[in-house]
């Protein structure tokens, strides 16, 4: 790894600017599809380092890519920046306390401020190394919106955003450092809208057709379906429109939002078809009209063993994230407020004793000790991984046992430990990219493995052809509404 020392040194030299970028995005958390300030900040930094910018990728206003280099293979670093609602939290505070300076109420509950800044740091450092040493290679950084239950990358893949990319590299802040990709679930998200007939619930209930009854029957039917689902499948729902506030009215409209997950696209589509039949049955039972609004979907992640071997060698040379005593002490304060069983489970999962005093993971697991685990969450990295060979590292950035999508993640997102996890990930990703750029055999092995899998199981985009990304959908709806209003004048 001696030849990589200048690259690693450059990541360290650039790090303060990119930790500041991460913190700035943490300070202004924006929800899916609305990440305009984050995009502006990242684009400005990429331009500063000589990257050309392509905006509105796949027609999405908050999707972009930055590119540097004119010849050679294309390696893409994937970044994110969207936050979550109602997770505002005072930085560094292990007790629940919303940030008094945060007026949106949002919070970076999945660490995407770190993810985007870290990937951009890796891209900049890699491009600088290639340029200084006269090496061929095109480096891209993809700013990807709306990962949180919105499938931003899936819509980007559908729009051809990754055409011409040879390899994709990304990371995610985590409570432990893992170089082997865990398996994740494919998912579909869909609205079921019911339209009924209003009536006085006391005087003439027989005249009404309750849309709310249809929603409730759909939910009840789905809950009975759970017994007949695969063990790893998941179904979640939220009633987004209960009709109205008056119980003495038969509700004429109601809507419910569903997320349906399964181990792969085929199983997910089969489960979705069963839920759809339940939804249609609910409409039949209540004599209401059903409209299905498909919102988005993503595929399961396709691991690439060849790329993981390259990533592992580079991560092993780096060692673990270099946490110090102060980092461990601060993390222990957060761990003290977490569920003890979850903390113990997190420690044993990485091969530590359940009673290990350290609260932060500072090691690299050996290959034999790191099985590929089936998780029950999802990531839109999945669709990228079915489009180009992809590798992802998880870098320890939070106390072991910290649950995602919580204020505890938000609280730890600007701590030195989080910054160290981000910088470590940037080094691992940049080193892996350079290994691939300088050894065509490694990239060919990854491509050969990818081609073999996709030849047997071709990629099927989980999003129907006629479904547009939500911001494009809304813009078109607004155009139609404006035209109708002008015609009525």
Over residues 135-175, the pLDDT tens digits come to: 999 999 999 999 998 899 999 999 999 999 999 999 999 99
Among residues of the chain, what percentage have pLDDT more than 70? 99
Is-contact 35 465, C-beta < 8 A?
no
What is the spatial distance between Cα 336 and Cα 6, in angstroms, rounded to a whole number? 40
Token pair of 175 as six digits: 């409570």
Q: How far apart are CA 424 and CA 379, in angstroms?
A: 22
Strands (E), 248-309: 249-250, 253-262, 289-298
Identify the DSSP state of 376. Answer: S
Pick the closest to residue 213 from 227, 230, 199 (CA basis).
199
CA proximity to 426, closest of 13, 1, 2, 3: 13
Mean per-residue pLDDT for 419-426?
A: 99
| pLDDT mean over 339-355 | 94
pLDDT at residue 371, rounded to an integer: 81
**Quick one: average pLDDT of 417-421?**
99
Instruction: Compute and round to an integer the Cα radius of gyration of the chain.
Output: 24
408-421 burial: b if 16+ Cβ within 10 Å, else e: bbbbbbbbebbbbb
Q: b/e per residue, 184-200, with b = 16+ CB within 10 A?
A: bbbbbbbebbbbbebbe
Instruction: Assess whether pLDDT exceeds 60 at residue 2.
Output: no
> 265: helix, coil or strand?
helix
Q: Please name which of 116, 160, 179, 168 lies closest in space to residue 139, comparing C-alpha atoms.
A: 168
Q: With pLDDT > 90 as the criterion, what percentage of the chain qualifies?
A: 92
Q: Where are the beta strands (DSSP E) in 349-450?
A: 390-396
The pLDDT value recorded for residue 477 is 81
- pLDDT tens for 427-462 read 999 999 999 999 999 999 999 999 999 999 999 999
* pLDDT, position 44: 99
Percentages of the chain per state (helix, strand, coil), in multiples of 5:
45, 20, 35
With beta carbons less than 8 A apart as the criterion, state whether 61 and 469 touch.
no
Q: Across residues 203-220, what is the average pLDDT?
A: 98
Q: Does residue 113 carry a pLDDT above 70? A: yes
The pLDDT score that the predictor gives to residue 1 is 52
Residues 6+ apart with CB under 8 A from 16: none
- The second-level CATH assignment, the architecture, of 2-184+301-456 is 3-Layer(aba) Sandwich (3.40)
Mean pLDDT, rounded, of the chain: 96
* pLDDT at position 485 over 90: no
pLDDT score for 367: 84
pLDDT for position 361: 98
- pLDDT score for 369: 73
Q: Give me the pLDDT at residue 483, please.
A: 80
Pick one of 3.40.30.10, 3.30.70.360, 3.40.50.620, 3.90.420.10 as the CATH number of 186-299: 3.30.70.360
Between CA 399 and CA 186 the distance in angstroms is: 28
Cβ(420)–Cβ(318) below 8 Å: no
pLDDT at 484 over 80: no
**Is this prediction's pTM over 0.85?**
yes
Give the tens place of pLDDT for each residue, 170-194. Answer: 999 999 999 999 999 999 999 999 9
- What is the average pLDDT across 18-42? 98
Domain boundaries, the chain: 2-184+301-456, 186-299
Kindly write down the DSSP assignment for every residue of 161-172, as one continuous string: TTTT-SEEEEEE
Are 252 and 243 a contacting pair, CB within 8 Å?
yes
Contact 297, 186 (CB under 8 A): yes
Report pLDDT digits (tens) over 286-324.
999 999 999 999 999 999 999 999 999 999 999 999 999
Taking each helix axis from N to C terminus, what angle separates 36-48 and 5-27, rounded to the nearest 10 degrees? 150
pLDDT at 311: 98
SS3 of 410, please?
A: helix
pLDDT at 410: 99
Tell me the average pLDDT across 44-69. 98
Integer Cα distance of 144 and 126 in angstroms: 20
Residue pair 415/330 in contact by the 8 Å Cβ criterion = yes
CA distances from residue 223 to 67, 228, 234, 267, 378 in whole angstroms, order as listed: 48, 10, 11, 18, 21
Residue 3 has pLDDT above 70, yes or no: no
**pLDDT 10s digits, 224-273:** 999 999 999 999 999 999 999 999 999 999 999 999 999 999 999 999 99
């Amino acid at each position: 790894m001696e030849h990589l020392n200048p690259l690693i040194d450059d990541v360290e030299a650039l790090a303060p600017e990119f930790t500041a970028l991460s913190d700035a995005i943490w300070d202004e958390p924006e929800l899916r599809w609305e990440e305009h300030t984050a995009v502006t900040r990242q684009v400005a930094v990429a331009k500063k380092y000589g990257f050309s910018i392509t905006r509105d990728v796949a027609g999405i206003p908050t999707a972009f890519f930055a590119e540097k280099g004119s010849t050679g293979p294309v390696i893409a670093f994937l970044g994110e920046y969207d936050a979550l609602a109602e997770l505002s939290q005072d930085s560094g505070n292990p007790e629940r306390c919303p940030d008094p300076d945060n007026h949106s109420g949002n919070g970076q509950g999945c660490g995407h401020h770190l993810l985007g800044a870290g990937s951009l740091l890796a891209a900049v450092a890699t491009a600088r190394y290639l340029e200084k040493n006269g090496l061929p290679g095109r480096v891209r950084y993809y700013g990807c919106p709306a990962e949180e239950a919105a499938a931003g990358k899936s819509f980007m893949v559908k729009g051809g955003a990754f055409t011409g990319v040879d390899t994709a590299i990304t990371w995610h802040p985590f409570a432990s450092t893992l170089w082997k990709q865990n398996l994740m679930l494919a998912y579909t998200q869909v609205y079921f809208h019911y339209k009924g007939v209003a009536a006085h619930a006391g005087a003439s209930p027989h005249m009404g057709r309750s849309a709310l009854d249809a929603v409730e029957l759909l939910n009840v039917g789905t809950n009975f379906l759970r017994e007949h689902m695969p063990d790893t499948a998941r179904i979640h729902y939220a009633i987004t429109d209960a009709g109205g506030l008056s119980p003495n009215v038969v509700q004429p409209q109601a809507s419910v939002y569903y997320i349906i997950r399964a181990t792969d696209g085929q199983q997910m589509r089969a489960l979705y078809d069963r839920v759809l039949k339940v939804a249609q049955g609910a409409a039949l039972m209540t004599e209401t009209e059903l409209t299905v609004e498909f919102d988005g979907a993503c595929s399961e992640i396709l691991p690439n063993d060849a790329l993981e071997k390259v990533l592992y060698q580079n991560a092993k040379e780096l060692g673990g994230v270099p946490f110090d005593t102060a980092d461990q002490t601060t993390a222990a304060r957060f761990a003290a407020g977490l569920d003890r069983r979850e903390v113990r489970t997190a420690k044993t999962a990485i091969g530590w004793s359940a009673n290990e005093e350290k609260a932060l993971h500072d090691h690299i697991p050996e290959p034999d000790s790191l099985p590929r685990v089936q998780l029950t969450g999802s990531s839109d990295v999945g669709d990228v991984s079915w489009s180009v060979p992809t590798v992802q590292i998880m870098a320890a950035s939070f106390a072991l046992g910290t649950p995602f999508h919580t204020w505890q993640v938000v609280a730890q997102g600007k701590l030195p430990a989080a910054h160290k996890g981000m910088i470590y990930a940037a080094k691992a990703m940049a080193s892996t990219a350079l290994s691939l750029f300088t050894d065509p055999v490694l990239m060919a092995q990854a491509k050969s493995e990818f081609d073999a899998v996709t030849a047997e199981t071709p990629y099927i985009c989980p999003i129907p052809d006629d479904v547009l990304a939500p911001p494009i959908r809304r813009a078109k709806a607004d155009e139609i509404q404006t035209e109708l209003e002008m015609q009525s004048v």
